[in-house]
Structure 1
Amino acid sequence: MLTVIIECQDQESELAQTLAVLVSGAVEGLVCDVVVLDRGSGDGTSRVADAAGCRFYSQWDVKDILDSVRGDWLLFVEPGARPQAGWIDEIAEYVALNKMPARFTASRGYRRPLLQRLRRRLPPLELGLLVSKRQAVASARSGMELSEFAIGRKTRRLACEIIPSWVARAAR
């Protein structure tokens, strides 16, 4: 039903945090596939992905990846991002009733300070991106970055929250 795609580079601990949260989604039957796209990590990123049963790619083309995923919906998240309680039911209900892309709500406890939010744009995938495979394949181009899927897309807001990846980076 849902494929999770994570792009990382030297983010072993952050990847482990995100994958730990996704386990419950796999147990509930929502997450059928996790793809880790690596940008030349020198740490244990590949071992973490392998231990979690993810498909790991160190060289890829986005179009090829999208053609090979099993889920009808894709969830792009940054390593270190952690969906909060209720995310499984929220996404399952959303994909059953909607066709439009969606993002998580920023966690109230981990929002960027107001002036930071007003002054600069947030990273495109900070709040994740839930999009149908059909829509992603239609907009994919060779050499495309994952963050480009989120730029300029109208999205709805999911009721469940996500702790953004910058929190995990700040804890290092």
Structure 2
Amino acid sequence: MLSVIIPTDGGEQPVVATLAALVPGAAAGVIREVLLVDRSGTDAIERVADVAGCNFLPVKGSRAEALAAGARHAKSDWLMFLHPGAVLDNGWIDETSQFVQAVAASGRLRAGVFRYARSPYMDASLGDAAKHFVRLLLRRPPVDQGLLISRTHYDRLGGYSPTARRSEAKLLAHLGRSGRALLRTRIFVPDRAAI
């Protein structure tokens, strides 16, 4: 059902945390494949992919290029983009399956984003709190909130542009509020400085 795409920069620990939360989804048959798209030029993530049974794709360039390459190589009709270190809360499997079925039944193209939750183990800085407040006011989801989207919808929107600055934010903005659903499942996102 799903291809999960995780762009990485060579850090093993955040990737392992994300993969651990995905194991039940693979066991339930919801996840068809996980692509670790690494742009570090080291072999650390390739070793993680080998041990975890994931596909490994080395890419040179920006995070947007990694995301676009992962989408091109994905084999499923549905794509889930996650940042390394992001951990989905319990219940994501059922909700993801229901969302995919609901979109298919309605014939209306929509994408889903997970409910943002900072990791309880990280100290929030004043700057992070201000950014989160501005996003709430403007109703813009953070780019590390994850994205669940059908390949058809992704392709129609033009996907992640490998050459654009802030490609993730632009795709979310292009979806608009009416084009994305806020899922009930929380996604715990680590402090970027800790990764």
Smaller-chain TM-score bracket: 0.7 to 0.9
Q: Which stretch has the larger CA shift, 59-68 or 24-33?
A: 59-68
**Corresponding residue number in structure 1 for 2:98:** 93
CA–CA distance in structure 1, aligned partners of residues 155 and 116 of structure 2:
27
Q: Which stretch has the larger CA shift, 26-35 or 58-67?
A: 58-67
**Corresponding residue number in structure 2 for 1:131:** 149
Unaligned runs of at least 5 residues, structure 1: none
After superposition, give the CA deviation of every residue in 1:44-78 in whole Å (9 maximum; x if it has no partner): 22111121111111137666643432221111000
Q: Within 5 A, what are the aligned runs for 1:8-87?
A: 8-42=8-42, 44-59=44-59, 65-87=70-92
Q: Which of 181, 185, 188 is matched with 1:156 structurally?
A: 181
Q: Per residue, is there more helix in 1 or in 2?
A: 2
CA–CA distance in structure 1, aligned partners of residues 72 and 58 of structure 2:
17
Change in Cα spacing, 1:165 to 1:140, as seen in structure 2 (3 Å) is same
Counterpart of 1:68, as a letter, is H
Change in Cα spacing, 1:105 to 1:73, as seen in structure 2 (3 Å) is same
Change in Cα spacing, 1:41 to 1:151, as seen in structure 2 (3 Å) is farther
Tell me, yes or no, if the aligned pair for 1:3 and 1:75 is still in contact at 8 Å. Answer: yes
Compare CA radii of gyration and give the structure with the larger one: 2
After superposition, give the CA deviation of every residue in 1:1-43 in whole Å (9 maximum; x if it has no partner): 0110010102211001001111110000100011111112436
Change in Cα spacing, 1:43 to 1:134, as seen in structure 2 (3 Å) is same
Counterpart of 1:33, as a letter, is E
**Corresponding residue number in structure 1 for 2:159:** 140
Equivalent residue of 2:174, what SS?
coil
Counterpart of 1:115, as a letter, is A
CA–CA distance in structure 2, aligned partners of residues 106 and 142 of structure 1:
24
After superposition, give the CA deviation of every residue in 1:108-134 in whole Å (9 maximum; x if it has no partner): 764966434125798853110111011
Q: Which of 85, 103, 124 is matched with 2:113 structurally?
A: 103
Residues matched between the structures, number:
170
Q: What TM-score results when the alignment is normalised by the length of structure 1?
A: 0.82
Tell me, yes or no, if the aligned pair for 2:2 and 2:79 is still in contact at 8 Å. Answer: yes
Unaligned runs of at least 5 residues, structure 2: 104-108
Q: What TM-score results when the alignment is normalised by the length of structure 2?
A: 0.74
Sequence identity percentage: 31
Tell me, yes or no, if the aligned pair for 1:80 and 1:166 is still in contact at 8 Å. Answer: no
CA–CA distance in structure 2, aligned partners of residues 128 and 165 of structure 1:
13
CA-based RMSD: 2.9
